[in-house]
A and B are shown apart, each in its own frame.
Chain A
Amino acid sequence: MKDTPDPGPTFPIALPIQLAVNGKRHQLDLDPRASVLDTLRDRLGVMSVKKGCDHGQCGACTVLADGKRVLSCLCLAASYDGADILTAEGLGTVDQLHPMQQAFLDHDGFQCGYCTPGQICSAVGMLDELAQGMPSHVTPDVRKVAELNDAEIRERMSGNLCRCGAYVNIVSAIREVGQGQAASAALPMPVAREVTR
């Protein structure tokens, strides 16, 4: 054979990485090529994050890393040393669903459910971005705080593909949670109850 390829460095090379996943700390020795996504799924058995493309094109792998939504397939685990990762099962459990999970259930915001954990993490992160006043492509005036409306939700959720086509129900679910959050933010601070003797 003419050009027998150079096999490159001998694996495994292992890098010591610390990750907190859904509140649990892990000290890991990782292949430097490993993504956060593959580390969660193949090394830690955390399957509540999904792989839909491995190329940052579908959103199925969305997790909250230190509170921000990220595509975990594009995150090398080595560069997330020390990060706090939250997946859908860290947001809520079957017995105690997160309000966003409850809203997806109530509005039937899914069919096969494969894009769903990513949609839910993305929606939680997205409402947070909106609350912080980040504009989007459809925000009419970027100097003003973007308001929560369907166009903003659709635009900001367009990185999360759903082949089952649950989009209109996804928007209803997020709208409901977003409006609830906005309403509770507008409530006056609770006043301490008077103590009677």
Chain B
Amino acid sequence: MTTDPKTASVGQDRVRIDGPLKVTGTAPYAFEQPTENPAYLFPLTSTITRGKIRAIDASAARALSGVLEVLTHENAPKLLAKTDTELYILQSRDVHYFGENIGAVVAETQEIARHAASLVRVEYDTEQEDTRFRPEHPERYNPGKINTGIPADSKQGNVEQGLAEAAVTVDEVYATPYEHHNPMEMHSVIAEWDRERLDGVLGVLGERPHLRIHDASQGVSYERLMLLPLLGLLPQQVEISSPYVGGAFGSKGIPHAQVMLTVLAARLMPGRAVKYMLSRQQMFRSVGHRLTTHQRFRLGAAADGTLTAITHDVQQSSSRLKQFAEQTVNATRHLYAAPHRETSTRMVPLDIGPATFMRAPGEFPGMFAQETAMDELAVKLGLDPIELRLRNKPDTDPESGKPHSSHHLGECLKEGARLFGWEKRQAQPRARQEGEWLCGMGVAAATYPRQMTPPTKASVAFREGKYHVGIAAADLGTGAWTVLTQIAADALKVPEEDVVLHIGHTDLPLAFLAGGSTGTYNWGSAVMVAAVNFRDRYGLTPAEGDEAEGSAFFPDEAKKYMLDAYGAHFAEVKVSTVTGEVHVTRLLGVYDPGRIINPRTANSQFIGGMTMGISAALHEESYLDSRPGYGHVVNSDFAGYHIAANADVPDVQARWIEHPDPMFGPTGAKGIGEIGIVGVPAAIGNAIYNATGKRLRELPFTPAKLVE
């Protein structure tokens, strides 16, 4: 950016624009959008895992005063195109997983809806199901391509030769559990059908149904694109708003069944808004999860630590209803140099609900394996784990041979070591004990790639002395409200007070969702281009109503490079020799994030990711009861599914080394929403090894695994 540094807004510490609303609790989230006389929905969910609905008796529910409608597959409106199996609900008797939405009760109040739902009797014909994840499952398959469109398998050189040549090898299995996102705001929808006059692109269409949705969504534009073919509607007929989102972490990235359920229920009572907020228990059923993985990781190295071979073979769970093939092997293909390398991905099909993106899908589970394996290798070699990583830093991308657009992993490791006091670490495990506590330090690298972004636009309009910037972006707590305003102010060369940002509505220019850590560089680019177009057309003194659009721009030259963000995580732990309990006493992240637009919100993104990393390392695991006849998560609330609480997080700090990277687009930012969690469980596990001499290869690190 070329703004005068004295007046520049980008790079400055700015309090959140939406902050005053949030600290007073008055920012309206989806369920809180004002509605006249709403009706309330409570879902009917399957109590078998696989089979067919034989009969539904809703007579008792219907007889209850205050019940407005009982929706089942028998009376559900027909959907048009089966473009998404997760959203194509209530169209048949089939049950695909335990807790699947098979209907709903709509009533005057939440209490009545919930009571009525308990009165509906459903009979099933059950079929043989399988919900038990296990490696070497007889039906495991090669998905061909995995998420982000890359091949499921990769091969360079001859790994058997590379391993044979090695002086030292590691060959271990690592595992990560099912996890659930659990944003504090449960998924919420308000849907209302109306009739409106539609003057569409096809000429005057006359009176047509019009659907208004308030949703907690990471991206309303793509949500609408996904709903349209199923509903058989034109874009002008569907309007979605989502100005404030109470956390998401991937679970609100694409619409799940609850959106369609509410939309179908509302269709039965046009003119009346139907509201539904999931219960916390329902959050563990049908709004996605992080899949479970079994990962064999092999490393071979010469005596000086130079890697000769890397292999990573992943088997991971999948829903038979809808595949989600996580790119768990991705980071392994790019982070370290080695002449011989191989990765593979196999999916294990199960009768469970679909998985979805959860903060750093791919990088999170994959880097747990890779960065733990690297630590094991360092121990075997008697080499400092930072030194081992520095010795294997590739000069160019190991897979494609392309140069990196920027690569500052080495700086992150070295600067982190200095700040953390790494030199005080004893290489020998169990060397530091304070009373019942064994203390140790660990390190892990982090990386997160540039993700591809479908078309994204923004607009600038001049009205009543202000520049109104519009883009269908979303702020999940990331700071988008604030940083997009800062970017727009600099691009228009005006103070921030003159910019009024509009996000979270389908009437605004189409934008890719908040995902893949793309928000700032993707939306930011569109906003900058729109601003430049606006100034080109109208100069510095625009007239009332002047308006211009722009599409996100990325340099063509970027194709010649490998684009990644980097980082390093340092953990200090103490482990009780009495109870096996782990405390993370310090956690430091040092990042190579490109340009930082707002140090305050950036810091919160980093420490938020790291805190979720502590949570995953110490607590998080969804226990699926895979006995025949079950198939649900048994610990489906915060009493059973622990997430990090305040007392778990005494000292979490983030630092960064700022090297703006223009190959990521004109903002120079690399995306920071996810890298904060990548490798954190490995750093903590490596610290636990350093403290206790015990190597844990399965998340989470619960006391039972460590009690002496």
By size class, the interface of chain A is 35 or more
Majority SS at the chain A contact face: loop
Asked if B704 is an interface residue, CB under 8 A from chain A, the answer is: no
Contacts A89-B26, A165-B608: A7 and B477 contacting too (C-beta < 8 A)?
A: no
Asked if B626 is an interface residue, CB under 8 A from chain A, the answer is: no
Contact with B along A104-133 (1 / 0, CB 8 A): 111010111111110010000000000000
Indicate which residue in B64, B181, B185 contacts A50 across the interface (CB closer than 8 Å).
B185
Most buried by B among A1, A48, A87, A164: A164
Contact with B along A134-159 (1 / 0, CB 8 A): 00000000000000001101110111
Closest to B650 in A: A154
Count the B residues whose beta carbon is within 8 Å of the partner chain — how many? 78
Asked if B303 is an interface residue, CB under 8 A from chain A, the answer is: no
- Which residues from 1 to 60 on chain A have a C-beta closer than 8 Å to any C-beta of chain B? 1, 4-5, 7-8, 10-12, 31, 33-34, 38, 41-42, 45, 47-55, 57-58, 60
Question: Closest CB of chain A to B649's CB: distance in Å?
Answer: 4
Asked if A88 is an interface residue, CB under 8 A from chain B, the answer is: yes
- Which residues from 636 to 661 on chain B have a C-beta closer than 8 Å to any C-beta of chain A? 637-639, 643-653
A51: chain B residues within 8 A (beta carbon): 186, 277
Indicate which residue in B66, B478, B638 contacts A161 across the interface (CB closer than 8 Å).
B638
Asked if A71 is an interface residue, CB under 8 A from chain B, the answer is: no
Contacts A7-B119, A89-B24, A114-B29: A168 and B652 contacting too (C-beta < 8 A)?
A: yes
Of A93-101, A177-185, A186-194, which stretch is located at the interface?
Answer: A93-101
Contacts A101-B24, A165-B644: A55 and B638 contacting too (C-beta < 8 A)?
A: yes
Contacting pair B111 A7 (CB below 8 A): no
Indicate which residue in B65, B110, B648 contacts A42 across the interface (CB closer than 8 Å).
B110
Question: Closest CB of chain A to B639's CB: distance in Å?
Answer: 5
Contacting pair A93 B24 (CB below 8 A): yes
| Bound CA span A48–B22, Å | 9
Of B152-160, B257-265, B525-533, B598-606, which stretch is located at the interface?
Answer: B598-606
Indicate which residue in B27, B611, B646 contacts A113 across the interface (CB closer than 8 Å).
B27
Query: Residues of B with Cβ closer than 8 Å to A?
Result: 15-16, 18-29, 31-32, 34, 40, 57, 59-60, 63-66, 109-112, 115, 118-119, 121, 181-186, 244-249, 277, 279-280, 476-479, 600-601, 603-605, 607-612, 615, 637-639, 643-653
17 contacts between A and B (CB under 8 A): A11-B112, A47-B25, A50-B185, A89-B24, A93-B24, A94-B20, A108-B15, A108-B601, A113-B21, A113-B27, A161-B638, A163-B183, A163-B643, A165-B607, A165-B610, A167-B644, A168-B611
Given contacts A57-B280, A167-B649, 15 further A-B contacts (CB under 8 A): A5-B118, A41-B31, A47-B26, A47-B28, A50-B29, A53-B638, A105-B19, A108-B604, A110-B19, A110-B477, A111-B605, A112-B245, A112-B477, A150-B650, A159-B645
**The 3 A-B residue pairs with the shortest CB-CB distance in the complex, in nearest-first order:** A165-B611, A48-B25, A112-B477
